[in-house]
Amino acid sequence: MRLRTLGTSARAALAAGAVVSLALAALAAVEHGLGLPVFALPYAASAAVVALAPTGPPARPGAILRAYPAAALAALAITAVVGPSEVAVAGSVVAAVAAMAVLRAPHVPAALCAGGIGLADPGPGYLLHTLVPGVAVVIAAVALAGLIVPGFRYPLRG
């Protein structure tokens, strides 16, 4: 069956699946090739958000680039004070959501990132060893997908 004979929703589903697959493959390649711990739920969730609604406010590169650092910094500060715990998770997620609201960066996977920090306390090295490469890989992968996946466009603005 040719792609052209599929209905609009089937084509959209195939495109979204292709985008997420490309992003997950890129994250896995970076993790296994460079040893950076980027194959993680927040970044997979970011790829899914972009794949499903590439022009929506949560998928915009600017939202992603503002939300993740704000969420991670808040979570690292809270976890440094109270230690890794359910309290740190709750405080980190609340702080992340508040920061995203102030920054007008509604990228929900960043709250998942904050919760993970509150639970595991990866320390400040997380910013350079996980967050920066993870976000860069997701944005690069979905931008590439916008060029090669039929029916998918990712506007690199906003």
Host domain of residue 132: 8-148
Is the Cβ–Cβ distance between 154 and 143 less than 8 Å? yes
At residue 145, the 3 state secondary structure works out as: helix
The pLDDT of residue 1 is above 50: no
In which residue are the tokens 């993870």 written?
134
- Six-digit token pair at 38? 């980027």
Q: Flag whether 3 is in a domain.
A: no
Q: Flag whether 154 is in a domain.
A: no
Please write the tens of the pLDDT for every residue from 74-100. Answer: 999 999 999 999 999 999 999 999 999
* Cα–Cα distance for residue pair 76/90, rounded to 1 Å: 13
Q: Flag whether 158 is in a domain.
A: no
What's the average model confidence in pLDDT over 18-31? 97
Query: Total domain count for the chain?
Result: 1
Q: Flag whether 132 is in a domain.
A: yes
Chain centroid to CA 152: how far? 18
C-alpha pair distances (Å), 34 with each of 26, 28, 130, 132, 150: 11, 10, 11, 14, 30
Give the global pTM.
0.91
Q: Flag whether 156 is in a domain.
A: no
Residues 6+ apart with CB under 8 A from 29: none
Range from 1-5, 57-61, 131-135 carrying the lowest mean pLDDT:
1-5
* Cα–Cα distance for residue pair 79/65, rounded to 1 Å: 22
What's the average model confidence in pLDDT over 7-11? 81
- Six-digit token pair at 125? 């090295």
Q: Flag whether 80 is in a domain.
A: yes
The pLDDT of residue 69 is above 80: yes
Q: Flag whether 155 is in a domain.
A: no
